[in-house]
Structure formats: C-alpha cells, structure tokens
Amino acid sequence: MTDARFHTVWIPLQERFYRVAYYLLEDRADALDTVQDLYVKLWKMRDSLDLVRNPAAYGALLVRNLCIDRIRRARPSEPLEDNLPGQPSPDEGLEAKETLGTLMKAVERLPESQRRLIKLHLLQGLSYDEIAAETGLSPLNIRVQVSLARKKLKQYEDA
C-alpha cells in the first residue's frame, strides 16, 4: 500500500476508531493513545493492508483488541490465593498434611479394636449403626470405644 492510499483509506477513519476506544476505555487520553498505537501498527503492516476488504471493521477490531490489552495491563495483579476463595494457602496446606501425618501415627498406636472403629467412623464417615452392622458390635459399645480412642488420641497430641 502506498503512502497516498494509506492516507486516503485509513486516516479518515481516525474519528471512528477514537469513538470505539473511548467507549471501551472511558478515558480521553487512553483512547487517543490507543488510536495512535493502532496507526503505528497499521503503518508497520501497510504492505498487507491491500487485502483488507472493510478497513473500518478491521480497524475497529484492532482497536478493540488494543483496548483490551491496555485494560489488562492496567488491572492490578492479585496474589493467586486471593483468586481462589476457600482454598488453603500453601502454608496452611503443608500444615494440614503435617497434622494429618501426626494424627495417622497416633491412630496406629491405638489398640487394634479401637483403631478399626476410629478409622470406620472418622475416616470413612460411617455412622455407629453402619459400623454395628459391619462389625456385629452394639452401637453403644462402638460409641464407648470411639470415645476412648479419641481420648487416647488427645493424650498423644498433648504429649
């Protein structure tokens, strides 16, 4: 594309491009800067602009993309953990793993009968009635054994 053709085709569209940029950015200075960036980009690619059928639409699309880039650059970045509400921080996750490891070691120190019941109740989430159906023990006996196991785990934790 020649200089003369560039000036006759693209320069008259400047006001239209400015309106698009201003609509998206809502700031006069940013819109003017974006249009200027657009014309720099168009000038650099002027050899391939002869293939563009609709310069107004093509330029508006480029302006829109430039505005989106400008908005993304202007947005303050947030730490990753702020982007994921409800997720533990890496430090909290590591602490939870260490606590779980300590708890599992303490569970292994329990007598076999209590260990089995505590695993069924706390780790697998079974109710006392479900454990009774599986083990043949009474629900009351299971409650007592789980309570005793919890007390021992608390003692292991304090020690």
The DSSP string of the chain is --HHHHHHHTGGGHHHHHHHHHHHH--HHHHHHHHHHHHHHHHHTGGGGGG-S-HHHHHHHHHHHHHHHHHHHHSPP--HHHHSTTPPPHHHHHHHHHHHHHHHHHHHTS-HHHHHHHIIIIIS---HHHHHHHH---HHHHHHHHHHHHHHHHHHHH-
The total of other beta-carbon atoms located within 10 Å of residue 59's CB is 24
Q: Which domains does the chain have, with CATH numbers?
A: 3-74 (1.10.1740), 90-158 (1.10.10.10)
- The tokens describing 142, both together, are 């299971």
Is the pLDDT at 72 greater than 70, yes or no? yes
Positive or negative CA dihedral for 118, 123, 129, 134? negative
Backbone angles phi, psi at 76, to 5 degrees: -70, 140
Give me the chain's average pLDDT, please.
Answer: 86
pTM of the model: 0.48
Q: What is the pLDDT of residue 82?
A: 52
Please state, in angstroms and rounded to a whole number, the distance separating the CA atoms of residues 20 and 53.
20
- Asked if pLDDT for residue 152 goes beyond 80, the answer is yes
Q: How confident is the model at residue 87 (pLDDT cuts 50, 70, 90)?
A: low
Is residue 84's pLDDT more than 70? Answer: no
What would the mean pLDDT of 84-112 be, rounded to a whole number?
A: 77
Q: What is the secondary structure of 108-143 as a DSSP string? A: HTS-HHHHHHHIIIIIS---HHHHHHHH---HHHHH
